[in-house]
Structure 1
Amino acid sequence: MRIDCPLCGTRDSREFTPIGGAELLDRPAADAGAEAWDDYLHNRANACGPSRELWYHGAGCASWLVVERDTASHEVLGVTLAREVAR
């Protein structure tokens, strides 16, 4: 699988570390209730098909990326720097 890093260009996926779903970027507010934090920490969607994932380019530019990928075919649909997606 090849990933198009916005800073380094097309690279082999072995240069990257998948961390989890990109919903990790949507943290609850510090004063959010226990239910919101429990949901954030423990509940993950694991659907087959298009997904948004957080990947780290540790063997390259050390950037955090949001990779849009089809989990059924492993086709990479798009890559964005996480700092451009995070609120």
Structure 2
Amino acid sequence: MRLSCPHCGERDRREFTYKGACLTPPGGDWGAAWDAYLHLRENPAGETRDLWYHEPCGTWAAVTRDTVSHAVAGSVAARDAR
């Protein structure tokens, strides 16, 4: 699988470390509601947005990909993810 680093361009997946889902807490609540949202939510197959760390340049990327086909739809710098 190849991922696109917003800084370096397309690279092999082995240069990246998966860091989890790129989520925004409902209502901006980082307390108990956020914990429940993160750990008790459904995990359907299909398109996801994940955080990946590109080791060589130190860039965090929000990658949109399909968990079934492993197709990567794109990525943006994590700071720009909405």
- Structure 2 unaligned runs (5+)? none
Q: Which runs of 4+ in 1 moved over 3 A?
A: 27-30
Give the distance between the partners of 1:45 and 1:63, measured in 2 at CA: 28
Bigger strand fraction? 2
Q: Map 1:32-71 onto structure 2 (within 5 A).
A: 32=31, 34=32, 36-58=33-55, 60-71=56-67
Relative to structure 1, the CA distance from residue 37 to residue 6 in structure 2 (aligned partners, 3 Å threshold; closer, same or farther) is closer
Aligned length: 80
Q: How much has 1:6 moved relative to structure 2?
A: 1.4
CA root-mean-square deviation: 1.8
TM-score using structure 1 length: 0.78
TM-score (ref. length: structure 2) = 0.82
- Structure 2 Cα separation of the partners of residues 64 and 54 of structure 1: 7
